[in-house]
Structure 1
């Protein structure tokens, strides 16, 4: 059975900054992706509660990368395992592993997608609506077309092409609303 994708809060990056925070549910696996900066923690916790879940129900948290606008509220989820590009962390256990191809559940896997930072990962989810990719390769559907913080423009382009080649029905960017990729999506 495919996973469910829910948007908890839509991010933005202008005079203030907030990351897009998402919820994925695949059977007993409950994942929050990028619980970073938001104007108020209730913007994460209230929608979680509206979906019938408490912070203690969250089994896994994924960081697309280690900037505070994507990690700041990780401690809200005391029972979770935490995933980044190189390891799984829980309490005082640090388990090294490559994120590329790592499955959190049958319908949720991680993919290395260096671009915004060299350590970026994307979360790839099979849903009833099609493939959903949660990634910071794009800030929003509107841009910027060229990530001003990407240390390697060619690496960013290659990772964007890798994601688009999957044929996702939806891309969930780092600081904006989910969008359907099209021929005008920047690479």
Structure 2
């Protein structure tokens, strides 16, 4: 599959005023599939449309969406891809989204109802080129992904258990020794590109010596 970063994620938070994070989003393509990993939240809607237009991809052409986990800053924009099958860990169905709040819980419900097809997974392989690693340290359905690509080598999608570059450097320097850090360090060694959910990606052959 070919890898293209659609946009890097961000975290915008002003106490009492703004809480508008949005995840990084990436496009994976081969002759049969057009896949978006974590299409992001509402704040990134313009960036999503601009990136897809630049790559000549219509929302109707997107065949699949893969979610590292089901939080709105990663998944809200999935509502704009009517022909896509949504792939996510089976544990998403065990959560009570109304616990996020009455209004937010209803938004989760609307997003789920917009999905025409859902395919759940556990750890293992998806399409022989994507390794799914269960990393339930941020939410019970959270996964990280290792993707073998034609143009960028092995791409690691960390999800939110290592959402920014400085967390990566903390782990490498031994400042974090929890189970999530242990798994991430093993995955980092396998990756050529690391896509952080709320930061710019890291191209290891350029900046990781």
Check whether TM > 0.5.
yes
Aligned to 1:8: 6
Whether the 8 Å CA contact 2:87–2:121 is kept in 1: the answer is no
Aligned to 1:84, the other structure's residue is in SS state strand
TM-score scaled by length of structure 1: 0.78
Greater radius of gyration (CA): 2
User: In 1, Cα distance between the equivalents of 2:78 and 2:54?
Assistant: 19
The partner residue of 1:111 within 127, 130, 133 is 133
Structure 1 pair 146–116 and aligned structure 2 pair: CA distance change class (3 A): farther
Aligned residues: 173
Alpha-carbon shift at residue 177 of structure 1 (Å): 1.0
> Would the aligned equivalents of 2:89 and 2:120 in 1 still touch at CA under 8 Å?
no
One of 54, 60, 83 as aligned partner of 2:87: 83
Q: Which secondary structure does the structure 2 equivalent of 1:159 belong to?
A: helix
| RMSD, matched Cα | 2.9
**Gapped regions of structure 1 (runs ≥ 5):** 148-152
Q: Indicate which of 136, 143, 154 corresponds to 1:121.
A: 143
List gaps (5 residues or longer) in structure 2.
Answer: 14-19, 93-111, 172-176
TM-score (norm 2): 0.71
Any conservation in 1 of the 2:146–2:156 contact (CA below 8 Å)? yes
In the other structure, the counterpart of 2:167 is 143
Aligned residues of 1:65 and 1:117 also touching (Cα < 8 A):
yes
Offset at residue 34 of structure 1 (A): 0.9
Q: Specify whether residues 26 and 14 from structure 1 end up closer, same or farther in structure 2 by C-alpha distance, changes over 3 A only.
A: same
Do the aligned partners of 2:10 and 2:23 also contact (CA within 8 Å) in 1? yes
Distance 1:77 1:109 in 2: 24
Q: Could you say which structure has the higher helix fraction?
A: 2
3-state SS in 1 of match to 2:166: coil
Contact 1:116 1:156 in 2 (8 A): no
Deviations 1:112-143 (A, max 9, x none): 22332232112221123310011223112123
Q: Report the Cα distance in structure 1 between the residues aligned to 2:7 and 2:68, rounded to whole angstroms.
A: 16
Residue by residue over 1:45-90, the C-alpha shift from the partner in whole angstroms, topping out at 9 and shown as x without a partner, is: 2211211110111111111111111111111111011011128996
Summarize deviations over 1:136-172 as a string: whole Å, max 9, x none.
Answer: 231121238679xxxxx7331233134124x200110
- Contact conserved, 2:41 with 2:77, CA < 8 A, in 1? yes
Return the offset for 1:36: 2.0
- Cα displacement (A) at 1:111: 2.5
**Other structure's SS at 2:65 match:** strand
CA distance in structure 2 between the aligned counterparts of 1:62 and 1:120, rounded to whole angstroms:
12
2:31 is equivalent to residue 23 of structure 1: no
